[in-house]
Structure 1
Amino acid sequence: MIQLTPRRGTPMPDLLERLGSRGPFGDHHPVKVETYAEEGELIVRCELPGMNPERDIHLTVEGTVLKISAKRGREEHGYHHTEFQYGAFTRSLTLPAGADADQIKADYDAGILTIRIPLRESGAGKEIPVARRGR
């Protein structure tokens, strides 16, 4: 299954989570992700509302890591309060065994980025014979 790249721990994440922290020390990530398998593919869906996919969202594969990068610019309105998150966001996911990185496809609709990662059939393991050394 897919694994999220671990983040560095902090000495107070439980306290900040109890206080509702959505800041840099909490376990909340600005890019929410869900994954599931469907008909020979791993589906990764990311909430990225209000973005232009051609300009603001970038996907790369380096080895077995899929990197999702996005950037949301701040619009100045003279407001006094905002709960929107602005800036650059990155999420790295380790691809599962059998993932075909050359065939990954992505689309963006209604604020959701959907990434489809084909999974090759992982056949039975191959037994390797062990030869007996002569004396």
Structure 2
Amino acid sequence: MTFYIAPYAPRVVRRVARDAEAARSLALNIRDEGEAYVLSALVPGLKAEDLNIQILDDTLSIEGEYRPDDGEYLMRELPIGAFRRALRLPAALDADKAEAKIEDGVLTLHIPKSESARPKTIKVAYN
């Protein structure tokens, strides 16, 4: 017979680890607009120089860091520390034409699909 002192401890540890990982990750919204993907992420307080965005084939990687400011807090819920998010999109990307901007704490990426991944219209011949 096995006796557990804290039978729920493994679940609690997994949940805390999952929550900590989510805090270091970056939540994204992704739209497929036909010839390009448009991604949005909340990045409050970050500037362009705080982010590193890379594209390789169909993989997008976004890294950044929330730097802590000095001071005493009664409560601190805003993120601090480094984060990284990498994901594969369904089609190859054209990194040379990608655009990124931060406006009002929202990072917006416009990433065109590569020519080979874009939809093509084929004309039907008739006699």
Larger proportion of helix: 2
Q: Which residue is 2:104 aligned to?
A: 110
Tell me: CA distance 1:84–1:100, structure 2 relative to 1, closer, same or farther (3 Å): same
- Deviation per CA, 1:59-87, whole angstroms, max 9, x where unpaired? 11234321101111001111232011101
Amino acid at match of 1:38: E
What does 1:58-97 align with in structure 2 at a 5 Å threshold? 58-97=52-91
Q: Percent identity?
A: 24
What is the total number of aligned residue pairs between the two structures? 108
- Please, which of 46, 55, 60 is the counterpart of residue 51 of structure 1? 46
Q: Which residue is 1:16 aligned to?
A: 15
Gaps of 5+ in 1: 1-10, 125-135
Gaps of 5+ in 2: 1-9, 122-127
Amino acid at match of 1:104: A
TM-score (norm 1): 0.66
Tell me: CA distance 1:33–1:56, structure 2 relative to 1, closer, same or farther (3 Å): same
Deviation at 1:117, TM superposition (A): 1.0
- Please, which of 24, 27, 44 is the counterpart of residue 32 of structure 1? 27
Give 3-state SS (helix, strand or coil) of 2:28's partner: strand
TM-score (norm 2): 0.70
Contact 1:57 1:69 in 2 (8 A): yes
